[in-house]
Amino acid sequence: MKYTVCKDRLLSYKKQLNHGGHRGKSTTFNVKDSLISLCLSVSVVNEFRFLGLYSLIAAFLFTCGCSDTGKEVPGPVTLVFKHGKIAGDPELFRGLLDRFERENPGIRVKDETLPASTDEQHQFYVINLEGRSSDFDVLSMDVIWVPEFARAGWLRDLSRLWPGEEREEFFPGPVRAVTFEGKAYAVPWYIDAGLLYYRKDLLKKYGRKPPVTWPELVESAKYITQRENDVYGFIWQGKQYEGLVCNVLEYIWSNGGDVLDDGKVVINSPKNIEALRFMRDMIEEYKITPPLVTTAIEEPTRHIFGSGRAVFMRNWPYAWNIFEREGSPVRGKIGVAPLPYFSGGVSASTLGGWQLGVNRYSRRPDAAEKLIKFLTSPESQKTLAMTVGYKPTRKELYLDKELMREQPFMTGLYDIFMKARPRPVSPYYMMMTQVMQPEFSAVISGIKTPEEALASAQKLMGHILEAEE
């Protein structure tokens, strides 16, 4: 075997060394000696020789992974803007950043894209911000991350940049989502909210109006599916993932219930139980929703509705443009409406969208703040709305004549966006959603009753929030 030959050679070399060093020289530490002893020791530990090799490699890689404390780059200021994939043509967004560079000579903006999966983006931010990286200055965050990042101390307080009167110009939902302990840690960039899509042509054929309450929706769906072939009643996203929580909250809120009230967990309530039971009943009892929703996310449901095989769908606004494209089977046959509510409640939509914040470890916070102010300005938001379809967070743009002409669908969503509610605004939201997702999924799949699931969720979420004590 190779290693025994190596070992013999090394042992003989070691003997030579000892003889050599015997001539009165004190044993000095030199590289050759230590390298040989390292090789020897590795060869001696022969059962774990692969472990030794892998440990060495691991040790090397470990030291390579340590980031170096950056040095100040002389010359023009370069900002790094980290974000997920921008929809549409990247050239259009680059054009916007070029305009910023022209208006602010001396600042250059480098924008870097992160992986498409929001989970991976979250992991990237957590790893890098916990490691106090200064590699990026401005970051784009999902609406549910802001309290968590703020509590962890990774975001710069933007209250000075974005004072109270300015906040009034934005939708209330996003403003609530970016506020933590009274201070604003991010500025809302673009907004998203859940909608009800319906087939105008089918409703007209059977003399029905778009439903305003959930019982009305059930009735219309049942009536139409009994008379039409190969059409589902109502499809939504029910897979065990974040989108499920978005869906369920819309039912809970429209029944007057809630998850967190003033920092306390109130998820186990009769109104919530009712809402969850209704969701399960849609599959099991009224049979207007097919069981396949338990593995469905946005795109599969968009596919089914877009090929004309459903009467109603709950989804985000992005689907509209796809339905209205050339060659779409449902072109011109779709309408949108606010989501229905239970009697005695109000329509509720779950808030989505992305916010811009400044890395607290950024070395150019003032320039970063300028970039955020630019990107969230009315002009930039209007440009983004016209080019890539990002829905603005500023209320005034929804009355802008040009935008109303070019994007009537977008401006028509004003009421829904006004009523969009953020998911529980808490630094512990990521942990809470990990509790809620399986519990809600268990109810929808019929494994647990709503009572059992919500009782369990209450217990687990209470335990999570105890961490603060």
Q: Does 56 bind other proteins (CB under 8 A)?
A: yes
Query: Which of 89, 396, 415, 468: binder of other proteins (CB under 8 A)?
Result: 468
The residues, ordered by sequence, that sit 6+ positions from 120 with a Cβ below 8 Å of its Cβ are: 114
C-alpha closest to that of 219 among 291, 312, 302, 314: 312
Q: Does 46 bind other proteins (CB under 8 A)?
A: no
- In the complex with other proteins, the residue whose CB is nearer, 104 or 434, is 434
The residues, ordered by sequence, that sit 6+ positions from 446 with a Cβ below 8 Å of its Cβ are: 280, 283, 284
CB of 122 to other proteins, least distance (A): 8
Q: Does 40 bind other proteins (CB under 8 A)?
A: yes
Extract the tokens encoding 413. Answer: 């969503």
Instruction: Say if residues 240 and 318 touch (Cβ distance below 8 Å).
Output: no
Q: Sort 296 into a burial class: Cβ within 10 Å, 0-12 / 13-18 / 19+.
A: buried
Q: Does 22 bind other proteins (CB under 8 A)?
A: yes
Q: Does 126 bind other proteins (CB under 8 A)?
A: yes
Instruction: Say if residues 388 and 87 touch (Cβ distance below 8 Å).
Output: yes
CB of 422 to other proteins, least distance (A): 19
Extract the tokens encoding 54. Answer: 């892998």
Query: Which of 12, 51, 78, 110: binder of other proteins (CB under 8 A)?
Result: 51
C-alpha closest to that of 367 among 95, 68, 97, 129: 97
Site for other proteins in 283-322 (CB under 8 A): 291-292, 294-295, 300, 304
Give me the DSSP letters along 139-163: EEEETTTHHHHHHTT-B---TTTS-
- From residue 240 to residue 269, the character string flagging contacts with other proteins as x (rule: CB under 8 A) and all else as - is xx----------------------------
- In the complex with other proteins, the residue whose CB is nearer, 300 or 365, is 300
Q: What SS3 state is found at 188?
A: strand
Q: Does 57 bind other proteins (CB under 8 A)?
A: no
Q: Does 215 bind other proteins (CB under 8 A)?
A: no
Site for other proteins in 417-446 (CB under 8 A): 427, 430-431, 434, 438-439, 441-442, 444-446
Q: At what angle do helices 90-103 and 365-375 cross, to 10 degrees?
A: 120
Residues lying near other proteins in the complex (CB under 8 A) are found at 18, 22, 34, 37-38, 40-42, 44-45, 48, 51-52, 55-56, 58-59, 119, 123, 126, 130, 148, 151-153, 239-241, 291-292, 294-295, 300, 304, 427, 430-431, 434, 438-439, 441-442, 444-448, 456, 460, 463, 467-468
